[in-house]
Structure 1
Amino acid sequence: MYMLSALRGEEEGASLCGYKAALFTRRGWFILLIAVANIEAQKRPSLNISSKCLGNVMRVDVGPLGGNLLEVVVVVNNSAILLTPSVASQCGFSMKIDKLGNAMIYASIQNCFAQNVKDEIFTTALHLRLHGNRLVEDELYQVAETCRYTAWASREIICDHNYMEVSVKRAAPGDYALPDHPFPEANPKFGHFRRAAEKWPLDPGFRIRTIVFFTPEEKIMKVAEAQRSGYGITNTPSRLLLRSPKTSPETYTQSVAGVPMSVLKTSMIFEKKWLATQIDAAAACPILEGSVSFTPKTITWYLPCRIDPLISSGQFKLLEVHMGIDGQRLNPAELHARQYSMSVNDVHVVVEIPVGAVGGYFKSHVQDDQYLVSYTVEPMIEMFWTEATLEDTRYKVFLPITTPLLSRPPQVIDNTVPEERMFKIVLGHFAPDVVLVNITFSTEVLSTTDCSVRGFNIMAFTSPNSSLKVFSLEVPFTDPVVQQRREMEITVYSLHLTFGLLVLDDFFKFSHTASLAATLVDIAPPSVSGGCDYQNFYILVKYGNQGFNFQTMVGKQQLTPSLARQYSFTENGTHFSFVVPFSAPDVMFEAIESASVRSRLDVVLRNPETNTNFKEFSVACNFFTALTECFPNGTMTALAVKLEVVPSLNPSQLTLRDPTCGPSYSNERYAYFVFSGNSCGTTRKFLPNMMLYENEIALPDELELKRQAKTEEPEYELKISCYYDTNTTHTAAFHTRPRRSEPYAENAKGQLQVAMRLALDDSYSVFHRIEDYPIAKYLQQPLYFEVELMRSTNPKVSLELENCWATLDEDKTSLPRWNLIINGCVNPVDPYQVIFHPVWADARVQHPSHFKRFEVQMFAFTKDQEDLSRRLFIHCDVVICDARNPLGGVCGGQCSNPENGMKGQRRAISDIQRFKQLTLGPILQS
């Protein structure tokens, strides 16, 4: 992918991942040109070139070339030296260009042409020439960057994809100098190199005469011979530098901690008269194959913590490890934001990069009309260690990584909203080098330009979560390419199309076919549904296909923004929901029983234009609450609530038997009484082992009529009873007895709340919410039902299922009817019988006897083929049994299924507390 390492000869051309590189001769120089194929580029871009110092390397960000050619020239001592691949690898330069045509140039700050001031300040000057259309004049850009670098380690190693570089601190006595002719005289252009390398005329000191390469066998070269072989050898005021092309024959491969590495080991012999000394210089760089592993989602790079070929002592201490991208370090926050990870163990530094993460890019490929991608990224690892010799090493490695080809079949996302009468399609995800060329419809083929003229909205944009590209298309229902079909009061719109796509640079073509359908109902009015739990009503309102054009009445008042906030209103564009506490002012009290209040919430959806109602909905539930409390010190409290059947009642006028004992607190809905067992007309009865205290709440006039033995039933009456024994306080229920016959509650009988829900699987840990209904299930797909006795803490009580059945209508008495459970047992004539699941105690289940769980297949509900698409409702009769007096039948655990497949008959069980039938649904058969 790099410009400067792709070419092997002065006359050779090479392909660089879809970018074309070639050498052209001009005035005796070899000119490197980079051509980026881009069929969309129409004019030359204006480059915004920037440069930065990244430690011991410099980076120049050229930006997008836009299909033009780039020539790179180094300026030194008022001379221009053209960078060829061989010069680049010998002098410490490399380049990369991504698939968007963005070019980056890297240079070692100790490159052959840098102006060096005391090994602290390094200046590199470049001329960048951009070539394009011959009719347009070439553009020349000048870049000069000065890097200050003083934090030199004893040894610094750079592993670039184009070269290996090792810089060591000179430790031998005296000065060093290169021989008189470090570059071959046969090529005059190298005179510039010679002048740059001999900036330090050190004739009185030592001179480098010989280099010994260990391959691992010894191989001796003169300096001039090594330079002709592509090695760069430079001495500075305090350092000695050796640079080698990555493919040098004097390197060898060694496995280090299971990672293959390319190793260069040398000794430089210095001579001065009759004296000689040597300095060792070595570099070891990882090889891509063997150090990197791939999964479809992750790239993992392993680098040894201890690189043995570079360590000369037994004592080794790794002090720092850093990770970066494109030569620039990333801090922990940046690593986390890009979802990169780096860890260090006893053997390796491990880097993990998600495929598609920021910092890399995708490249498209096509094989057998199948779309594939590869992902390329260039991470950097920088390590710093010391040894027993007190010498330290800074090690920096750049490793361009490209994944194997990954299958990425295009996906079509249908975002069509039928009410908008527009097909909205998203096609993705593609690398940025893919363009949409045309679309084939069922009647014609249109180019993207033709589509735009036709009124089809086509856009290409980058996905917000990745660098991948997606295409969006909008086609009106009214266009001739859209087919229409009428079915009763429903219109079905269908669209069949094939996308024609092209990969830039390679010009590979491929296609993807899609079919979409949308259904429009003439009018879908708004709807409302709901349910309740142990303390709240939950209401769900769906808009229908006419939008939000209605008013919502909750109880007797309109759902205003203020009231919506009070009721936890939420909305998502197609429906809204809200939660109403059972004691809210908009809730009506129907009846009170021993330990519960039956409340009802009315919701009306009203057309404000015609003042008519779209939908009227009511939901009523029993809510458990402490209405009477009996305290050990003889104090009693009672809560009287205003019932719907007594609309004229003023709770503040209620009293106990003693008319002077009014409520301690009251409002338009409640009256709260506090009294003792020897006050307010409370009577006492002696029973075996206990004492009964009784009182009643009513209007004073009603109490007076009762005392005069008048037979007229009072309009409102609450009886209060408290039982006391030696050490325990019991609470007995009281009831209302309104003049109207319904609803009312009888003394000593009450309803505990029961809920039936549908679980997602047999773990019974996650359940469908009320807003999920209607729920679609496939034939023979198991359904997992749970019935729970709510808010009961009595372990002696058990919940039992007497009868369960399914109907096609919400009316539990409707026909046809499929019996699932009859008298507590499975239906013997059902070929797909109910399966009961045991219930075990866990964090949610305190008393397993309060739960029943069973499973049944969807196919069990179908009687013939004509019922396959209908809605289903599940109903159950539930009873509560006392373990101390189980009686028989359901509570005794005995099955009494009817014979000959007859429907189960309900039995009257006087001592069993029977619950109202439960209903769950609708469930749609798919």
Structure 2
Amino acid sequence: MSHLFGLGWLFILLTIANIEAQKKPAINISSKCLGNVMRVDVGPLGGNLLEVAVVVNNSDILLTSSLASQCGFSMTIDQLGNAMIYASLQNCFAQNVEDEAFTTTLNLRLHGNQMGEDELYQVAETCHYPAWASREIVCDRNYMEVSVKRAVPDDYVLPEHPVSGTNSKFGDPRRAAEKQPIDAGFRITTLVFFTPEERIMKVTEAQSRGYGIANTPSRLVLRSSKTAPETYTQNVAGIPMTVLKTSTIFEKKWLATQIDAAAACPILEGSVALTPNTISWYLPRHIDPLISSQQFKLLEVHMGINGQRLDTAEMAARRYAITVNDVHIIVEIPVGAVGGYFKSHVQDNQYFTSYTIEPMLELLWTEDATHEDTKYKVLLPITTPLLSQPPQVIDNTLPEEQIFKVMIGPFASDVTLVNITFPSEVLSVGDCNVRGFNIQEHRSPNSSFKVITLQVPFTDRVVLQMREMGITVYSLHLTFGLLVLPEFAPFSLTAYLEAKLADIVPPSVSGGCDYTNFYVLVKYGTQGFDFQTIVGKRMLTSGLAQQYGFMENRTHFSFVVPFSAPDVMFEAVEASSIRTRLDVVLKNPETNKNLKEFSLACNFHSTLTECFPNGTMTALAVKLESVPSLNPSQLTLRDPTCGPSYSDGRYAYFVFSGNSCGTTRKFLPNFMLYENEISLPDELEPKRVKTDEAEYELKVSCYYDINTTHAVAFHTRPRRSEPYAENAKGELQVAMRLALDDSYSVFHSVEENPIAKYLQQPLYFEVELMRSTNPKVSLELENCWATQNDDRTSQPRWNLIINGCVNPVDPYQVVFHPVWADARVQYPSHFKRFEVQMFAFAEDQDNLSHQLFVHCDVVICDARNPLNGVCNGQCSNQGNKLKGQRRAVPDMQSFKHVSSRPILIN
């Protein structure tokens, strides 16, 4: 934040002694009348020291910081050396004509850095301001001012001198009453300050303490420093404000009267909220110390910058925003917006910036009780905390041009490059340009930052050369010496550049596969990255590159394509895998010729057909490259009425049983063979394009053992005398969690609510008995089911586990996973893990919602007394015939249970 720099108000912008002197820029001086204040713009100072004095009766009065706050002056200077001087129209030295015309004359003296005569400039400005409000308040950076009409309530004339605060009306600047002008014969004798306690001072004492007091033909003006002892802080609508509250006593012979005046200005800390991108300034809509009641009307709200009001179009162009609600007036300014400036800072050779802007708010309100209006103006300089702005070194060198090209930045405009250090010598900026290194500064339009570019020919002696295997390696070590003005703060930036020249090598493509992805590596060759990349049939745009994990450096780039991506072609379907191919083409954008063609074919494991013990079969059909016109949704089994349960542009998924959809059965010596085919129905064949395109036909087969022998053994249980716990159901301390995969090593966190899953993804559940250290106790799952809401008794209901066993009528049966002891699992018997296929919910489209809950009844068992049922590891529902559709079984009896968090189906 800019402030007055005390002791004569001297602002210094130092020039750099070791940089060649340049022609001093001309000083531009202009002045503007901005309502009840005047602004004088001076600059650029060009390294000069500025001294400001006020001209009164042909005499100069030097403005110090204390005199400035007492008399209504302030000054700020930006990072480019441009000064702005603000003056209240009613400042101590203004020539006042009937409170309508105000003339202020300033002498501006510039002292040069070197021996020579000072330069003196005089600026005089007359501002006309006849439309005074009943009360006008100005909050400037270093003072607060209140100007009120010289009028008091008609019952305020006292027969004797006032003493202390005996009058109950005394000291309320918001009091409403019919007011009469004060006789010109009255003079100011005493001031009463409310802190909020009363402090009484004679006028001479108040002036000696730095207060400005003026009695114009029709107005009383009171001015105070924001840090004066007689001010106090009050929280107004959550905003801290500095408050000045006074009564001024006028006397004439044996008569006395008084005028109450108050000002309240926001404090920066507490009224401004900062984010890395936005400045938000809050001002109370109802400023309690200045308004007597809620019965007031806010008539106007205006915003400006540097004291100058802006219209709506200009605010929109700068992306400023102003909002008025019942409590606050809120100004929002983007960091870096037009009207402010960035300042550079150096700490531990690290580069930072801060952003400074001085917004202004002008309010006009009237109170219903008094019908008097108030104009309120506040100028609030705001500076952000230090923003990390590490400069970058960007190497734009093209080896074939044989010139190193480097760009450094971005920097704020107050940074200058002083010299460059090479391993063998140090050169100033002027020496570099004479040497042909071509140093330039570049600034983008509508940007507060600049970059510096440097070019160094390979042939200069500061460039090192080394030959290796027919390749010349050029290297350049350099350190940029920079300064921040006017603080003269140094910092440096080091760079190492290297370039190689060799025989022309064309770009190349290589790659490989793992069990899920294609991995592609593209090397640029000696011509650099000057080609287009086609993946499959699509251009590798920035969006597609981001999707495929694109990574690059100066010599190559790489990306990863999943085997199921749309740019991958399916070539063939084999027993347990799909053969897929990825094509990559590098193309010259100018000639449209292919520089390199690359194809990578791999087999990816995929379970295309699954056979379930209950006779249910599933099959996955994919669209092959040899049948480009195929629409997978039109595929059917032998029975044309049996279409896919799910399909898209590349897949079709079928679910059917061994006695449906035209499935045939053959008896072989030791097993039965169930067969079906996936193809297009005959009525669709004539519609296909008659070319060399192959017909689509996929065989589906399932084998079931007929004669299989299983060995069964049993052991008698010896008699035991020790006591043991009976099996029972009860309130269990159990937890259910959802793992990311079947390794059950990483689980979804509590913050993920709901958990999002796709239909193609399985769900991996783990149920754990908590806080038990008894290895002879085991946890068993009796019943598990899914519902659409967290009410475990709600309908519809999908049964997953019944009496400890998988649902026998479910084609997508639950898969139990074994639990082994590891670092996390001390007692495997305390855990149960099972997997549910999300496809299981796809068929019930009428009842399926986008959200599911999974519930389980659990039983604690004693391994020494397993008895029967789930504790004995037996399925008590085996052999039962469950009728109706999949999982449509009657509700089980409610027991103590555990439930999952919501699962969102996409």
Give the TM interval when normalised to the shorter protein. 0.5 to 0.7
C-alpha deviations, 1:273-308, integer Å up to 9, x for none?
443332211101111111112222322221111111
C-alpha deviations, 1:853-880, integer Å up to 9, x for none?
89xxxxxxxxxxxxxxxxxxxxxxxx99
1:2/1:96 contact within 8 Å kept? yes
2:44/2:81 contact within 8 Å kept? yes
1:320 to 285, 296, 300: 300
1:151 to 121, 131, 146: 131
**In structure 2, the residue corresponding to 1:248 is in which secondary structure?**
coil
Using the TM superposition, name which of 104-113 and 758-767 deviates more.
758-767
Residues 516 and 260 of structure 1, relative CA distance in 2, 3 Å threshold: same
1:481 to 462, 467, 477: 462
1:759/1:783 contact within 8 Å kept? no
Shift of 1:803: 3.3
Shift of 1:758: 8.6
**Aligned equivalents of 1:80, 1:525: Cα separation in 2:** 78
Shift of 1:485: 5.6
The match for 1:369 is 349
Output aligned runs, 1:92-491, within 5 Å.
92-132=72-112, 135-172=115-152, 205-388=185-368, 389-484=370-465
C-alpha deviations, 1:492-522, integer Å up to 9, x for none?
5443332222233433332222233445564
C-alpha deviations, 1:437-471, integer Å up to 9, x for none?
33233554433333223321112233434222321
The match for 1:819 is 603
The sequence identity of aligned pairs, in percent, is 64
**Aligned equivalents of 1:334, 1:36: Cα separation in 2:** 31
Shift of 1:382: 1.3
The match for 1:786 is 566
Structure 1 residue identity aligned to 2:379: F
**Aligned equivalents of 1:759, 1:305: Cα separation in 2:** 54
The match for 2:762 is none
1:36 to 13, 18, 21: 13
2:444/2:450 contact within 8 Å kept? yes
**Aligned equivalents of 2:59, 2:358: Cα separation in 1:** 33
**In structure 2, the residue corresponding to 1:38 is in which secondary structure?**
coil
Shift of 1:428: 0.6
The match for 2:846 is none
Residues 763 and 132 of structure 1, relative CA distance in 2, 3 Å threshold: closer
Shift of 1:345: 2.2
Residues 882 and 484 of structure 1, relative CA distance in 2, 3 Å threshold: farther
Equivalent residue pairs, number? 586
Residues 147 and 814 of structure 1, relative CA distance in 2, 3 Å threshold: closer
The match for 2:558 is 777
Residues 490 and 239 of structure 1, relative CA distance in 2, 3 Å threshold: same
Residues 885 and 55 of structure 1, relative CA distance in 2, 3 Å threshold: same
Output aligned runs, 1:799-818, within 5 Å.
803-805=579-581, 818=602
**Aligned equivalents of 2:651, 2:189: Cα separation in 1:** 90
2:678/2:699 contact within 8 Å kept? no
**In structure 1, the residue corresponding to 2:28 is in which secondary structure?**
coil
Structure 2 residue identity aligned to 1:71: E
Residues 77 and 509 of structure 1, relative CA distance in 2, 3 Å threshold: closer
Shift of 1:205: 2.6
Residues 805 and 211 of structure 1, relative CA distance in 2, 3 Å threshold: same
Structure 1 residue identity aligned to 2:650: K
Residues 204 and 295 of structure 1, relative CA distance in 2, 3 Å threshold: closer
C-alpha deviations, 1:145-171, integer Å up to 9, x for none?
111112321111100111100111222
2:354/2:386 contact within 8 Å kept? yes
The match for 2:33 is 53
Structure 2 residue identity aligned to 1:851: G
C-alpha deviations, 1:541-592, integer Å up to 9, x for none?
xx99999xxxxxxxxxxxxxxxxxxxxxxxxx96799xxxxxxxxxxxxxxx
Residues 803 and 328 of structure 1, relative CA distance in 2, 3 Å threshold: same
Residues 62 and 808 of structure 1, relative CA distance in 2, 3 Å threshold: closer
Residues 105 and 766 of structure 1, relative CA distance in 2, 3 Å threshold: same
2:477/2:495 contact within 8 Å kept? yes
**In structure 2, the residue corresponding to 1:449 is in which secondary structure?**
helix
1:802/1:890 contact within 8 Å kept? no
Residues 77 and 517 of structure 1, relative CA distance in 2, 3 Å threshold: same
**Aligned equivalents of 2:302, 2:245: Cα separation in 1:** 25
Unmatched runs of 5 consecutive residues or more in structure 2: 158-180, 509-523, 570-575, 587-593, 611-619, 624-631, 635-645, 653-676, 686-694, 704-906
1:70/1:129 contact within 8 Å kept? yes
Residues 346 and 271 of structure 1, relative CA distance in 2, 3 Å threshold: same
**Aligned equivalents of 2:599, 2:98: Cα separation in 1:** 99
Shift of 1:328: 0.8
Using the TM superposition, name which of 879-888 and 479-488 deviates more.
879-888
The match for 2:743 is none
C-alpha deviations, 1:704-753, integer Å up to 9, x for none?
xxxxxxxxxxxxxxxxxxxxxxxxxxxxxxxxxxxxxxxxxxxxxxxxxx
Structure 1 position 499 matched with structure 2 position 280 = no
**In structure 1, the residue corresponding to 2:565 is in which secondary structure?**
strand
C-alpha deviations, 1:192-222, integer Å up to 9, x for none?
xxxxxxxxx9985322222111101111111
The match for 1:183 is none
2:306/2:358 contact within 8 Å kept? yes
1:803/1:823 contact within 8 Å kept? no
Residues 85 and 758 of structure 1, relative CA distance in 2, 3 Å threshold: closer
Shift of 1:36: 2.3
1:413/1:425 contact within 8 Å kept? yes
Residues 781 and 274 of structure 1, relative CA distance in 2, 3 Å threshold: farther
2:152/2:182 contact within 8 Å kept? no
Using the TM superposition, name which of 488-497 and 33-42 deviates more.
488-497
Residues 297 and 154 of structure 1, relative CA distance in 2, 3 Å threshold: same
1:210/1:222 contact within 8 Å kept? yes
C-alpha deviations, 1:583-609, integer Å up to 9, x for none?
xxxxxxxxxxxxxxxxxxxxxxxxxxx
1:262/1:284 contact within 8 Å kept? yes
1:759/1:768 contact within 8 Å kept? no
Shift of 1:58: 0.4
Q: Could you state the TM-score of these two structures normalised by the residue count of structure 1? A: 0.56
2:73/2:91 contact within 8 Å kept? yes
**Aligned equivalents of 1:357, 1:522: Cα separation in 2:** 50
Residues 519 and 349 of structure 1, relative CA distance in 2, 3 Å threshold: farther
**Aligned equivalents of 2:52, 2:441: Cα separation in 1:** 34
Shift of 1:370: 1.4
Shift of 1:816: 8.5
Output aligned runs, 1:524-563, within 5 Å.
none
Output aligned runs, 1:656-695, within 5 Å.
none
RMSD value, Cα:
4.8
**In structure 2, the residue corresponding to 1:49 is in which secondary structure?**
strand
2:536/2:583 contact within 8 Å kept? no
Structure 2 residue identity aligned to 1:457: N
